[in-house]
Amino acid sequence: AQSVTQLDSQVPVFEEAPVELRCNYSSSVSVYLFWYVQYPNQGLQLLLKYLSGSTLVESINGFEAEFNKSQTSFHLRKPSVHISDTAEYFCAVSVYNNTDKLIFGTGTRLQVFP
């Protein structure tokens, strides 16, 4: 069965510092990968996704993630965070040619301090 591991439950950083949120998945077949963000008291929003093509995907607010098939990873990065980036970040995987089920990681709480 597929699983998603987010090793860091909490990541505290100062504003304008770089950040990396790690995500590893376990699957020997093709997968689709997603990062979702949940701001305080709000619903889930898609941050970015990898379906095919370029292994580096970017979001409109400066985040990027790189699909690394050999390391089965999809780490999320941002070169300079803002206080408004404080949120819970979830990595999720869906297996190609399977159901539409999303398997979520346990989440990483990004806390940005001034």
Q: Which is nearer to other proteins, 13 or 32 (CB)?
A: 32
Q: Least distance to other proteins from the beta carbon of 87, Å?
A: 14
Q: Which is nearer to other proteins, 15 or 104 (CB)?
A: 104
List the one residue out of 59, 48, 60 whose CA is nearest residue 23: 48
Q: Least distance to other proteins from the beta carbon of 20, Å?
A: 19
Pairing verdict, β 87-95 and 31-38: antiparallel
- Decide: helix, strand or coil at residue 39: coil
CA atoms within 13 A on the CB side of 58: 5
Q: Which is nearer to other proteins, 13 or 104 (CB)?
A: 104
Task: List interacting residues with other proteins (CB under 8 A).
Answer: 32, 34, 42-44, 46, 49, 51, 90, 92, 94, 99-107
List of E strands, 1-114: 3-5, 10-14, 19-21, 24-26, 31-38, 44-50, 56-58, 64-68, 73-78, 87-95, 103-104, 108-113
Q: Which is nearer to other proteins, 13 or 44 (CB)?
A: 44
Q: Least distance to other proteins from the beta carbon of 28, Å?
A: 19
Q: Least distance to other proteins from the beta carbon of 61, Å?
A: 16
